[in-house]
Amino acid sequence: MAYWEVIFYWVTLVAYALAVGGCIYSFAFKNPRVMPKITLLVACGFITHSVTIYARFAATGHLPWSGHYEYALMGGWFIIAGTLFVGWQNKQLQSLAVATVTLVTILMGYGYMQNPGLTPMAASLKTIWLYIHVYFAWLSFGAYSLAMAAGVLYVLKSRSEALEIPNPAYDRFPSLGRLDELIFRYIVFGFITDSIMITAGGIWAKDLWGSYWSWDPVETWSLISWMTYGLTIHLRVTFGWREKRLAWLAIFALSSVIICFFGVNLVVNTSLHMFQVR
């Protein structure tokens, strides 16, 4: 890791960890007034997060594309960017940070324990299809993460409203009906960008490996993830799965994406995809 990258990386991680701690404090002590301060802290962490990425770009000459550390760094940036964007549009959605910042903190910590060393960009990655493939992968990952966060808020708020005295900290959450709609919209957006990602990856694979699809472990899990969210949309549209069922689906479906991005190369070392630099 580059000198400035290390510094700003740890500043970012501390900022996100403090934000997670603030969320826990807000819920445990029923203090909803803490949330705006948490949002400001996340915004500061996002700035240092961006500087971390720039420092790595300056040291390697390319954006973070490969390896678990770089995937966590760049994927986390998109998740936080999406969280801040929707929170800027609607202050009630700032509470999505409860789940998204927690996820990003865990991913960045995990990525650092893998291989954060500086590596040159492989010649096979120098193509325009890389940018299309990876950009839409980040967009889908961010959208699916927001759907997961909305699902978490739905479960928390529904349980709070079932109590005799609801937790006032959850008053800042959107209504249950609004959260239900947001879960579906985020999943649909993620599914569309996921489809573009897979298509672009197939075109890139044809130029690189001679076939559009090779049943590579990462490709296979990518298909499983795509089918999981496709099934979720089908259950919502055709069978009317809403509310808690949809919320729990959004929460657990994200695991298929995380396995695709981070889990496959932990157990399989024959993947053609360069998610982990060895």
Predicted pLDDT of residue 244:
92
Residue 173 is classified by DSSP as: S
Predicted pLDDT of residue 129:
80
Q: How confident is the model at residue 275 (pLDDT cuts 50, 70, 90)?
A: very low
Q: How confident is the model at residue 31 (pLDDT cuts 50, 70, 90)?
A: confident
Predicted pLDDT of residue 265:
65
Residues 6+ apart with CB under 8 A from 99: 145, 148, 149, 152, 153
Judge whether 277 lies within some domain: no
Judge whether 235 lies within some domain: yes
Q: Which of 87, 13, 79 is nearest to 44 (CA)?
A: 13
Judge whether 37 lies within some domain: yes
Q: How far apart are the first and last CA of the chain?
A: 15
> pLDDT (tens digit, 9 = 90+) per residue, 32-77?
788 888 999 999 999 999 999 999 988 888 788 777 888 889 999 9
**Which domain, by its residues, includes 113?**
3-267
Runs of H (alpha helix) within 29-127: 35-60, 68-89, 97-112
Judge whether 273 lies within some domain: no
> pLDDT (tens digit, 9 = 90+) per residue, 153-184?
999 999 888 887 888 878 888 899 999 999 99
Predicted pLDDT of residue 91:
87
For residue 94, count CB atoms less than 10 angstroms from its CB and return exposed for 0-12, middle for 13-18, buried for 19 or more.
buried
Judge whether 272 lies within some domain: no
Judge whether 129 lies within some domain: yes
Domains contained in the chain, number:
1
Instruction: State yes or no: pLDDT of 8 exceeds 60.
Output: yes
| 97, 98, 124 from 64: Cα distances, Å | 24, 26, 15
Judge whether 148 lies within some domain: yes
Judge whether 276 lies within some domain: no
